[in-house]
Amino acid sequence: MSALVLDAGALVAVDRGDRAMIARLRAAQQHSLDLRTNAMVVAQVWRDRSGRQAALAQLLRAVDVRAVSPHDGRKAGVLLGMTGMKDPVDATVVLLADPGDRILAGTIGKLRRPSAGAWLANLLAHRHATDVGRLVQLGVAMRAAQATLDVEALRTYGKERHQLVTELVGLARASAAEQGTAVGGPAVQELESTLTAAVADQDASDQLVAGRLAKGLSYSGFGGPGLGPATTTARPKAKSSPKPVAVPVGKPVAKSDPRVDEAERDLAQARLQGAHAESTAEAAAERARRAQEAVDVAEQELAERVEQLQEAERVRDEADAAVTETATAIAEAEGALERLLS
């Protein structure tokens, strides 16, 4: 069920008898929305010693007021560091919101809870700034190679990018594990997309280094990830016509054919795209390899489980046989005893 998360401003409005706020909260309850806040928010507003905050007290009886744990405090601190905001109570309010919830607040809009992939990227920027700097420098070199259509350099940088992105993803996973946070596949894909965008575009690189992303970045191909000006290769300016040069009779003067120039540019661009496609294919092959490794591990675990089950069935069969043998021996002993007594 979705919830409406309340900050101090909402509680103050109710305390002052704001009819619009009271009507809004009633409408939320009528639409089956839970009301939620935490103890720190209540502390910001509650001053009652003589029953003068009756309206607020009535509201709080209908609100899920949650405690703020030491773990919540650490997460709120990380969120403040990523967003540049100052109010720790506002950060704890943001952490109350689950997917699909809404925050009823006036100033918390700037304090957006980052997506899982953006959180990983911010974690990298804060904890592994040197390694992120290596990615930034690689991006500078790679964009320079793209500008000069240096196909061989692009091919080399493409491999380095793939290796470095894989390394950074591993560092992000380890840092998240240290905080007790499990990282799923979609978050890793969002992080990989963000790191790739940072290589391709200077604006994306600056956002990654700042460590305040609210959502992941994406790269749409040559020319940047759609975050700022595209990185393009400028065509050479038309040169002024050279002065006539005297040449021996019978030797024709070589003239520049615009169609040849255009074909050469197209060929260079095609080679550039080919290098990019090769790098992309290598990355896809690596992802497929990792997926196959996961399948192999799962199959191995399944085979071990089947073997364990077969062993358990064998032990059970042996136990059943032993029980049957014991029962037969008991019956024979009872028969012998009856014959002796008779």
User: Angle formed by the axes of helices 151-178 and 185-200, to 10°?
Assistant: 140
* Residue where a domain terminates, one of 113, 145, 168: 113
- pLDDT tens digits, residue range 81-91? 766 667 888 88
Q: Is 104 helix (H, G, I), strand (E, B) or coil?
A: strand
Per-residue pLDDT, 229: 37
Question: What are the CA-CA distances from residue 144 to residues 46, 116, 147, 220, 245 (Å)?
Answer: 59, 32, 5, 18, 37
Q: What is the mean pLDDT of the chain?
A: 76
Last residue of a domain, one of 198, 232, 266: 232
Instruction: Count CB neighbours of 212 within 10 A.
Output: 19
Give the confidence band of 280 by pLDDT, cuts at 50, 70, 90: low
Single-letter amino acid code for the residue at 105: A
Backbone angles phi, psi at 273, to 5 degrees: -65, -35
Same domain, 80 and 136: no
Residue 121 lies in a domain: yes
Structural domain contains residue 306:
no
Query: In the prediction, which pLDDT does 268 show?
Result: 63
Provide the phi-psi class of 223: left if phi over 0, else alpha when psi is between -120 and 50, else beta.
Answer: left
8 and 108 inside one domain:
yes
Residue 242: its pLDDT value, please?
Answer: 45
- Where is pLDDT greater, at 286 or 200? 200
Q: Are residues 95 and 138 in the same domain?
A: no
Q: Give the per-residue pLDDT at 37.
A: 94
For residue 296, being part of any structural domain is answered with no
State the average pLDDT over residues 225-253: 40
pLDDT at site 248? 43
Q: Is residue 103 located within the same domain as residue 120?
A: no
Clarify whether residues 19 and 92 are in a common domain: yes
Burial of 130 (0-12, 13-18, 19+ CB in 10 A): exposed
The burial of 289, by beta-carbon neighbours within 10 Å (0-12 exposed, 13-18 middle, 19 or more buried), is given as exposed
Residue 148 lies in a domain: yes
| Cβ-Cβ contacts under 8 Å for 113 (sequence gap 6 or more) | 79, 94, 95, 97, 214
Indicate if 19 and 106 belong to the same structural domain: yes
127 in the same domain as 90: no
Whole-model pTM above 0.75? no
Let me know: does 200 contact 136? Beta carbons within 8 Å.
no
Domain match, 146 and 207 both: yes
Of 113, 144, 163, the one marking the end of a domain is 113
Residue 256 lies in a domain: no
Structural domain total, the chain: 2
- 96 and 195 inside one domain: no
Comparing 100 with 171, the larger pLDDT belongs to 171
- Report the b/e string of 246-258 with b at 16+ CB within 10 A: eeeeeeeeeeeee
227 and 119 within one domain: yes
Distance CA 161, CA 145 (A): 13
- Pair (89, 121) in one structural domain: no
At 294, phi and psi to the nearest 5?
Answer: -65, -40
pLDDT, residue 249, reads: 43
The pLDDT of 111-136, averaged and rounded, is 82
| Beta carbons within 8 Å of 257's beta carbon, 6+ residues apart | none
CATH at 85: 3.40.50.1010
- Looking at per-residue pLDDT, the higher value among 106 and 190 belongs to 190
Query: Is 331 inside any structural domain?
Result: no
Residues 218, 130 share a domain: yes
In DSSP notation, 30-55 reads HTT-EEEEEHHHHHHH---SSS--HH
Residue 39 pLDDT greater than 90, yes or no: yes
Q: Is residue 9 part of a domain?
A: yes
In a domain, 155, yes or no: yes
**Residue-number span of the structural domain to which 71 is assigned:** 3-113
Lowest-pLDDT choice from 47-56, 176-185, 247-256: 247-256
Query: Distance between CA atoms of 285 and 283, rounded to whole angstroms?
Result: 5
Identify the band that residue 69 occupies on the pLDDT scale cut at 50, 70 and 90: very high
Q: How far apart are CA 192 and CA 186, in angstroms?
A: 10
What is residue 245's predicted lDDT score, i.e. its pLDDT? 41
Q: Which residue has the tokens 């073997």?
A: 307
Report whether pLDDT(259) > 90: no
For residue 260, name the pLDDT band (cuts at 50, 70, 90): low
